[in-house]
Structure 1
Amino acid sequence: MIKAELIEKEEVQNYKFLDAPIDEVHVQKEKLIGAVRLGNEFKSKAYITFQTDQGPKKIETTVWTVTEKYLQIKNGILIPLTSLIDIQY
């Protein structure tokens, strides 16, 4: 498992997203759906790990929505699904 630096969710927009290394990806559709449900119904947060140009980063936040290509968090910030490494909740 990749070690990721924990950052504030407000800092996400300061990074350039890269595709996650395929052998390190641990995100399935069920995890994405679970994270959205957790955020919308229970107002709970998840840990999201993603790949950036400065290495793997992790945030704790509420997942608002998931589309075909993006995961959306607060303030309309979009994280490409291709950059996701893991979601834990």
Structure 2
Amino acid sequence: MFEKLIPKEAIAQYHIIQAEEDRSIHWKEHLSYAVRLGNEFKSKTTVTFNTTEGPQSVETTVWSLTENHISLKGGVLIPLNSIIDVHF
């Protein structure tokens, strides 16, 4: 699987769609750790998500985690059901 690393400012240019397998529950634990890393240690996380143009990755600080989304700086939201992978 090939994913493209994009700047977080470019996320709005893509149409985000659900991943082939919804792993939202699996990713919540990882992403809550990513929120802590970002807020306390200013550490970035690479999040790969699905779009109509294929998987895209962004290296960013995860600001918050809700029931259905992660929030990035600037109010950018990525649905949990679109996430394919998370790396610290």
Output the CA distance in 1 between the equivalents of 2:20 and 2:41. Answer: 31
> What is the TM-score of this pair, normalised by structure 2?
0.92
Q: Which residue of 1 aligns with 2:74?
A: 75
Output the CA distance in 2 between the equivalents of 1:10 and 1:75. Answer: 8
Shift of 1:12: 0.3
Shift of 1:30: 1.4
5+ residue gaps, structure 2:
none
Q: Provide Cα deviations, 1:46-77, integer angstroms capped at 9, x if missing partner.
A: 00000001100001000000100110001000
**2:14 is aligned with what amino acid?**
Y
Shift of 1:18: 0.5
> What is the TM-score of this pair, normalised by structure 1?
0.91
Q: For this pair of structures, how many residues does the alignment match? A: 87
2:9 matches 1:10: yes
Output the CA distance in 2 between the equivalents of 1:10 and 1:70. Answer: 17
5+ residue gaps, structure 1:
none
